């Protein structure tokens, strides 16, 4: 984890599968289920085996499930806030959950990214893609406007220079 | 005591203090809960423990009155297990308070805020000011007595549950600066930084505001040109 904290460069787009430690975490935390252990473990095994992440330029998609499949997509710019949570067991394994929220009507997280060792780097990456965190360079549309603005200013300047000249001439004549 | 704490921190693997959120480093302000907050936690702990004690005593009363004949000892065993558990947790929960008080970090940069808390379940929350919807300062009677308050920041999105309960699933749309003694200062700081984001915080693009500013500047320039032209005719 120290390496991640030091800001080791991680290529986010290459992340696809959760780390094997997630399976370890599932096994150990399933022990809490008591008698329901076989069922819980089976469900989690399917989840672990089918869990896929995809990070592209626009957003994240995450899918899992064999019988009941689920896929969640969200765009970076719609992210409201990002949480990083972990319990003792997860920290022992070097894992943490990234909980991502959008502005939908839900107190819980819309997407929980789990089982990644690079959680901190990923969090920072997602955060930098979120709205309001960085100044965007002027977009193409506004550069046209920018030019128009400078042209207008130039014309105004010319006009007032013209006025100045006229005034000067009038003064000479009188 | 210090050594013990170090052992606990390393066994629980409590992560080191959080990195500051995005934003310019000069603007970063760090806050900590005030010392009275520790007193507040202790008071709440004492109240909770008192409740537990009352529960145990009531249990004793029941164990004495319910006639079970030969099976009475089962009740007594259950009762004494309760007492042992109660005494056992006293020290642990009291020690946990001190760690809970110290393992809290609040940070405010010019773009975002970050809050880290928790010892067994750690939670690090990041919200950008562009997304903050409202701001609340909360203070109960005990907190007022101690001169501390909670600053609560909410982002868009609903939640069935409120964050006010300590247990259960927390409402992730809320961030709380718990037990600070400069609530007004923090509130002012957040309001001031929030003011620079003029949109609704619901997914509008950043450049939209920029484009609007540019439009306004264009109109302004055109007006200036008209004025210059008029002056020329005069």
Q: What does the pLDDT look like over B181-224, one tens digit per residue?
A: 999 999 999 998 888 776 555 555 555 666 677 788 888 888 98
- Domain membership flag for residue B152: yes
3-state DSSP of B190-228: HHHHHHCCCCCCCCCCHHHHHHHHHHHHHHHHHHHHHHH
Nearest to B207 among A120, A139, A163 (CB): A139
- Domain membership flag for residue B227: no
- Domain membership flag for residue B15: yes
B108 to each of B20, B118, B185, how far by Cα in Å? 8, 19, 12
Segment among B30-34, B51-55, B76-80 with least mean pLDDT = B76-80
Cα–Cα dist A43/B232, whole Å: 82
Q: Which of A132, A144, A150, A152 to mutate to test the interface with B (most CBs of B within 10 A)?
A: A132
A window 10-69, beta carbon within 8 A of B: none
Strand, coil or helix: what is B18? coil
Q: What does the pLDDT look like over A52-107, one tens digit per residue?
A: 999 988 889 999 998 888 999 998 888 888 899 999 999 999 999 999 988 877 77
- CB contact, 8 Å: B12 with chain A? yes
Query: Domains in chain B: how many in total?
Result: 1
Q: What does the pLDDT look like over B85-134, one tens digit per residue?
A: 999 998 888 888 988 998 899 999 888 899 999 888 999 998 888 888 88
What residues contact residue B9 under an 8 Å CB cut-off, 6+ apart?
A: B99
Q: What is the DSSP string of A51-83?
A: -EEEE-SSEEEEEE-SSS-EEEEEEGGG--EEE
Question: What proportions of chain A, in percent to the nearest 5, are helix, strand and coil?
Answer: 50, 15, 30
Cα–Cα dist A21/A89, whole Å: 11
Cα–Cα dist B217/A19, whole Å: 52
Contact B214 A142 (CB under 8 A): yes
Radius of gyration of chain B (CA): 27
Adjacent-strand bridge partners of B153: B135, B175
Closest residue in chain A to residue B12, using alpha carbons only: A88
Q: Which domain holds residue B183?
A: 2-159+169-195
Contacts of B123 in chain A (CB under 8 A): 83-85
B window 159-218, beta carbon within 8 A of A: 159-161, 169-173, 175, 197, 201-207, 210-211, 214-215, 217-218
Cα–Cα dist A124/B60, whole Å: 54
Cα–Cα dist A137/B205, whole Å: 12
- CB contact, 8 Å: B98 with chain A? no
Backbone angles phi and psi of B90, in degrees to 5: -50, -55
Nearest to A163 among B204, B205, B231 (CB): B231
Contacts of A135 in chain B (CB under 8 A): 206
Q: What is the CATH number of domain A2-129?
A: 2.30.29
Cα–Cα dist B84/A114, whole Å: 38
Look at residues A84, A78, A83 and name the one whose alpha carbon lies nearest to residue A131: A78
Q: What does the pLDDT look like over A28-50, one tens digit per residue?
A: 999 988 888 989 999 999 999 99
The CA-based dihedral angle spanning residues A117, A118, A123, A126, taken in that order and rounded to the nearest 10 degrees? -120
Closest residue in chain A to residue B205, using alpha carbons only: A131
Contacts of B128 in chain A (CB under 8 A): 81, 127, 130-133
- pLDDT recorded at residue A57: 85
Contact B125 A103 (CB under 8 A): no
Task: Answer positive or negative: Cα dihedral of B156, B161, B167, B168.
Answer: negative
Is A8 a residue whose pLDDT tops 50? yes
Cα–Cα dist B201/B129, whole Å: 8
Ordered by start, the domain boundaries in chain A are: 2-129, 138-174
Contacts of A124 in chain B (CB under 8 A): 19, 22
Strand, coil or helix: what is B112? strand
Closest residue in chain A to residue B196, using alpha carbons only: A132
Q: What is the DSSP letter of B119?
A: S
The alpha-carbon gap from A127 to the nearest alpha carbon of chain B, in Å, equals 8
Average confidence score pLDDT of chain A: 84
- In terms of phi and psi (left: phi > 0; alpha: psi -120 to 50; beta: otherwise), the region of B124 is beta
- Domain membership flag for residue B201: no
């Amino acid at each position: 984890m120290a390496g991640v904290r030091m800001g080791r460069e991680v290529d986010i787009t290459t992340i696809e599968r959760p780390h094997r430690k997630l399976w370890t975490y599932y096994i150990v935390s399933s022990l809490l289920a008591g008698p329901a252990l076989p069922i819980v473990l089976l469900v989690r095994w399917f989840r672990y085996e089918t869990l896929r992440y995809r990070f592209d330029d626009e957003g994240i998609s995450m899918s899992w499930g064999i019988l009941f499949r689920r896929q969640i997509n969200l765009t970076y710019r719609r992210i409201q806030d990002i949480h990083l949570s972990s319990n003792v067991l997860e920290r022992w394994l070097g894992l943490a959950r990234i909980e991502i929220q959008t502005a939908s009507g839900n107190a819980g997280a819309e997407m929980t990214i789990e089982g990644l060792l690079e959680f901190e780097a990923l969090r920072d990456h997602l955060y930098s893609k979120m709205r309001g965190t960085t100044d965007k360079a002027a977009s193409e549309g506004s550069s046209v406007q920018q030019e128009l603005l400078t042209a207008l200013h130039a014309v105004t300047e010319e006009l007032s220079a013209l006025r100045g000249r006229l005034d000067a001439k009038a003064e000479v004549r009188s | 005591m210090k050594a013990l704490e170090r052992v606990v921190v390393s066994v629980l693997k409590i992560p080191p203090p959080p990195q500051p959120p995005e934003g310019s480093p000069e603007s970063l302000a760090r806050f900590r809960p005030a010392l009275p907050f520790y007193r507040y936690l202790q008071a709440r702990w004492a109240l909770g423990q008192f409740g537990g004690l009352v529960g145990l005593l009531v249990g004793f009363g029941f164990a004495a009155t319910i006639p079970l004949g030969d099976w009475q000892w089962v009740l007594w065993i259950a009762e004494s297990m309760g007492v042992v558990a109660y005494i056992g947790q006293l020290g642990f929960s009291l020690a946990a308070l001190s760690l809970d008080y110290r393992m809290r970090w609040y940070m405010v940069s010019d773009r975002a805020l970050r809050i880290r808390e928790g010892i067994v379940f750690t939670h690090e929350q990041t919200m950008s000011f562009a997304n903050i919807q409202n701001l609340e300062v909360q203070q109960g009677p005990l907190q007022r007595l101690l001169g501390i308050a909670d600053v609560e920041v909410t982002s868009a999105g609903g939640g069935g549950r409120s964050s006010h309960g300590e247990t259960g699933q927390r409402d992730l749309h809320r961030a709380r600066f718990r037990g600070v003694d400069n609530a007004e200062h923090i509130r002012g700081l957040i309001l001031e930084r929030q003011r620079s984001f003029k949109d609704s915080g619901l997914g509008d693009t950043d450049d939209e505001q920029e484009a609007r500013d540019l439009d306004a500047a264009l109109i302004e320039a055109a007006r200036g040109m008209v004025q210059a032209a008029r002056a020329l005719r005069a």
